[in-house]
Chains A and B, each alone.
Chain A
Amino acid sequence: MTKKLQRLTYVEDEPDIRAIAEFALIEIGGYELDACASGPEALDRTPDFNPDLIILDVMMPGMDGIETYRRLRAIPKLADTPIIFMTAKAMKHETDRYRQLGAADVIPKPFDPIALPERVQEIWQRAQKQVTAS
């Protein structure tokens, strides 16, 4: 039986982007969300929150999304959690690099907040199929 997507961690330093994504994922998507303002905040809270999926901004001051990704992946209970990168640097060579790192997918910025929950759901379903197939 396919696991239902319920709990998301979202990591984004920019307050307005975080607010609009929170609105979309909670009010439109109906997800339980833990929104973090930085990589260290995510590393502190995500193991206990234990999300089904993580959305990670790439360009953040201090610890960027790539470093946060590596550190989250090193936590055994999060080693297989699908992680989506969100970035304004979405040229093909950049998105290829994120996928090679192991990202479930890449959502370019700017994004349509109204379409965001559906997009996240699609990526989640694809990630689940890959887990089932392997």
Chain B
Amino acid sequence: MTMQEQLRALVERHHANLAEQVAIVARLLGQDDEGSDVGVARVIEAQGLTHQMKGTAGSMGFVHVAAAAAKLDEHLKDLKRCPDPVTAAQRKESLELLCELQRIAASTTPEMSTLYDADLSKLARQ
């Protein structure tokens, strides 16, 4: 396997898990039950995952996913300071940012990573 193939395999593996990661955040934020309250513990967990997604997606070259995750991460940092439980009205903006993250993640392909076609030929074994 060439270096380029190894790098693409890493990008593809990360991409394959992206939708599930976003789905976990959606479940934690109660996207399917927008009218209900959710516990602060779930918001804290969602913020941790979103924060991680920002760093991982960005390092994997998915800059648009990372940017959308960063916006949601920032908002969840404020939301997790709300009194427990967090109401539907309080998390309305988070759910809008989540929708944007879902839209971007769903339309992303491995080829859109900045690493996918990176020229590694001059870099090997510096």
Contacts and interface: CB of A to CB of B under 8 A. Distances in A.
Interface of A: 14, 16-17, 19-21, 23, 27-30, 59, 88, 109-114, 117-118, 121
B123 A110 contact: no
Given A14-B52, A16-B10, A20-B10, A29 B59 contact: no
Nearest to A118: B126
Nearest to A13: B52
A28 B57 contact: no
A110 B120 contact: no
Most B CB contacts (10 A, CB to CB) among A19, A29, A110 go to A110
A20 B124 contact: no
Contacts of A109: 54-55, 58-59
A19 B55 contact: no
Contacts, number: 66
A28 B123 contact: yes
B66 to A, nearest CB: 6
Given A27-B124, A88-B51, A16 B13 contact: yes
Contacts of B66: 110
Contacts of B107: none
Interface string B1-23: 00100110010011001000000
A114 B123 contact: yes
Given A16-B60, A28-B125, A30-B125, A110 B6 contact: no
